[in-house]
Each structure stands twice: as structure tokens, then as C-alpha cells.
Structure 1
Amino acid sequence: MPVLYSYKESGNSYKCRLLAAFLGVKLDIVEIDFLGDEQHGEDFLAINPKGEVPTLVDGDTVLTDSAAILVYLAGNTTLNNNSTTWWSSDIAEQSQITEWLAFAASWVQYGVFTARAILSFGGPYNGIGTASTEQTLKESQIRGVKSLEILNKRLSQREWLTLERPTIADIAVFVYVALAPMGDVSLEPFLHVRQWIKRLEGLPGFIPIDGLDDPLYRRKNE
């Protein structure tokens, strides 16, 4: 059974758990004390020198990036309903999916991801941190809104991001977008994004993450 090193509130870890739930893939999930910095301990660094979650270990295969894990799980598994995979064997379709994986790793990462991290977890957690937290928050919220504008326009024309069906592109982008209110980036102006979120949440096998229903849960006791 593949082993997934995860932190339950990590959106990137959740992407992998969510896809596994959709696919019916069993994972041995090992929870890492992320806020306690376990990921930088000697034992974990021996597995993933980057000191990051998620990390997937499947035999001799070790993957240390959520996008790579999504490709690996989807590429090796077929859904039960009409044999449609969340990936593709066609290179043109792979390219279209990968374009949205890149969007998640850039626009989303330095937008709503960063705003959520600062306001709900006390730091940007994005590997830069050279500007003041106040300035970083402002810039990430601006980028977050622009990302939502891009997505809303895209989703005004289709139900899913690409290929006219749910793929790992949707999972990769969905998580931090759905959690945007944790970083004080409102989803209210973006009807098509909100409808897309509901469609994905309605798929068989969906599992939640803290913050979807209560974006202020981490700040209530401050």
C-alpha cells in the first residue's frame, strides 16, 4: 500500500487524499506534525530532503510534490464509472491538464494559498518571505482576486477546467480556491467558480477539509 506523508490541514496533502478517495485507492496515511516542524526532522528529511508534505512512497517510487502525486495516482488507476480516468494517455490532453497544474503552482500558490497561510497559519509558507507580511498579504490577495477572475471566465463557458470532464486539473486548482475565504478573499463575486466548487463537492467519494464550511475556524479564538 502506498504511504502518504500528510498534514491534515495542508491543502496540497488534501489534494492527494481527495483524489485517492475519488479513485477508491487505499493509502497508508502518516500524519506529520507540520506546525511542530516534524517535516524538518532528521527522519523525515531522509525521505524528503525538501522537508515538505505531501510525500508519497510506493515501493522504490518517492514523490515529493502534490502535482506529481496526482499524476501518479491518476495515471495508475481507472475510475469505476465508465472507465474514465482523471488523467489521460493522450499527449495533447496531458498538456491541457498540465497547464492547470502549473496555474495551481503559480497563480494559486502565490495568491489565495499565501493569503490563507498568513491569516490562518501565521506565515506565508511559500518559500519566499522576503517582503513584510503585510505587503505579502496585500499582494497575495490582489493576485488571488485576479486568479478568481481568470477561473470565473473559464468556468462561465464549461463545467470543468478542461476536457469536458473532471480531471486532476480541477483537484489541483479547487482546494486553495475553495479555501480562499480563509485568506479574506471572497468567492461571492464569482458565481461560476462557486458553482464549480459545488459540482466537485457533489462527486461520489468527496471528502472535506477543515475550512470549507467555516473559513474562520482558526481565528475564532484569537
Structure 2
Amino acid sequence: MKLYHLPLSGHAHRAVLFLSLLGQKAELIEVDLANGEHRTPEYLKLNPFGQVPVLDDHGFVVNDSNAILVYLATKLGRKDWLPDDLETVARIQKWLSVAAGEIAYGPCAARLITVFGADFRAEEVIARAHRILTLIEQELEQHLFMIANTPTIADVALYSYIVGAPEGNVDLMPYENVRRWLARIEALPGFVEFPKTVAGLRA
């Protein structure tokens, strides 16, 4: 397996983290986005969207972070991370959609402003981040992880941009359940840290 990634991308970190949590070896190939490597014809063959991450499993290419989580769990038969009962699958899918929606347009977008200079309205995306964090805080009153008392790919999908939220000036201090949840993920065997930058509240 090969994983094309960028260390500071939360989307890419999901895939790097899950590979490590699974104990699955993969060649990590850093994509030089700063110099436009993601726009080259060679890379666009792997991912026409020009984004990271991309998983190349001996010629079978998966080029969406959440799809990579589903693919890896299914291929490796890891029903502990992606159970096959319908109710759990539906609940996990809900949080994968949140990761691609409210998280991407909330804490992720806030961090893109401070770390990458993205052109978003800070007050709007920070407010959106606090709305979804409030909902997640309430969800975590019921169990240790997002779905139950054991982790699933839902937790992996949500982790990176939430732990990096302070870089986008999103304060996590009001969310005690969220902070405890982050610590539980960080205590898992095989955990890989999301690289920090000196930005936002960490500046």
C-alpha cells in the first residue's frame, strides 16, 4: 500500500492515524502541495480533485479520506472499527457525514484561515465550529467514544480537525467531554499525533 499525504492535512492524518491504529504498513509519500505537485497530470490521474489523501492499494485507488477508512476496515475485516449491524453502520455513517460537512466547514475551515491563509469569514466558521462541538459534547455524555464505549472509524474521522481546532482560534476548554475523548484516542495503541503549528490560540 501507498498513502499520498500531507502532514498538516487533517484529512490525510485520518488515514495515517487509522493505518497505524490497525498496525497496517504503508509507504507514506508526501505530496508537495506548496509547489503544485497535486496539480500535475500524474497526480491528477490518482485523484482528479487534486487533493490528499490518496490510498493506492496495489493499483486500486481510493481518494477520499472517509472512503479510505471504510475501505481499510472492510478489507482487513476489522469489524471492531466498522461493525456490520445495520444500526451501528447508520450511526457511523452519520458521523462520517458530519466529518465531511460540519467539521470541514467549521473547525477545519477555521484552521485553514490561520495555517494556510484561506479566504473564509473567521467569525462564521468559528461559530459553526462551536455549534458542532456543542452537539458532540452532548453525544459524549452517553458513552466514551462517538458510537459506544469502544472506538470506531467515526472517532478517527472526527479526531484530527477537532484536536487541531485551537489553531483556528476555536477554544476547546468549554468542552470537557470532548477533551476527555481526545485523550482516550491519544491513549490508543498505535496512535499517531497530528502535527501542531504555532497558530491561532497556540500562537
What TM-score, normalized by structure 2, do the two folds share?
0.94
Match of 1:106 in 2: 101
Aligned residue pairs, count? 203
**Could you tell me how far 1:34 is from its partner in structure 2?**
1.6
2:180 to 195, 198, 207: 195
**Could you tell me how far 1:35 is from its partner in structure 2?**
2.2
Q: Where do residues 120-199 of structure 1 align in structure 2 (5 Å cutoff)?
A: 120-123=115-118, 133=120, 136-199=121-184
**Can you list the C-alpha shifts for 1:177-214, whole angstroms capped at 9, x where unaligned?**
11100000000000000000000001111111212xx6
* Letter in structure 1 aligned against 2:189: P
Match of 1:70 in 2: 69
Distance 1:175 1:66, change over 3 A: same
**Could you tell me how far 1:46 is from its partner in structure 2?**
1.7
Residues 182 and 216 in structure 1, CA contact (< 8 A), matched pair in contact too: yes
**Can you list the C-alpha shifts for 1:48-99, whole angstroms capped at 9, x where unaligned?**
11101001111342111000000011112256xxxx5211222322111111
**Could you tell me how far 1:113 is from its partner in structure 2?**
0.1
The alignment-based identity, stated in percent, is: 35
Match of 1:90 in 2: 85
Residues 3 and 57 in structure 1, CA contact (< 8 A), matched pair in contact too: yes
* Letter in structure 1 aligned against 2:193: P
Alignment partner of 1:216 is 2:199: yes
Match of 1:130 in 2: none
* Letter in structure 2 aligned against 1:86: W
**Could you tell me how far 1:163 is from its partner in structure 2?**
3.5
* Letter in structure 1 aligned against 2:62: L
Q: Which runs of 5+ in 2 are unaligned?
A: none
Residues 111 and 141 in structure 1, CA contact (< 8 A), matched pair in contact too: yes
Question: Alignment RMSD, CA only?
Answer: 1.8
Distance 1:66 1:112, change over 3 A: same
Residues 46 and 63 in structure 2, CA contact (< 8 A), matched pair in contact too: no
SS of 2:45's partner is helix
SS of 2:35's partner is coil
Larger fraction in helix? 2
Q: Which runs of 5+ in 1 are unaligned?
A: 125-132
**Can you list the C-alpha shifts for 1:78-133, whole angstroms capped at 9, x where unaligned?**
56xxxx52112223221111110001110100000000011111115xxxxxxxx3
Match of 1:116 in 2: 111
SS of 1:107's partner is coil
What TM-score, normalized by structure 1, do the two folds share?
0.86
Residues 168 and 199 in structure 2, CA contact (< 8 A), matched pair in contact too: no
Question: Using the alignment, how far apart are the partners of 1:90 and 1:4 within structure 2?
Answer: 29
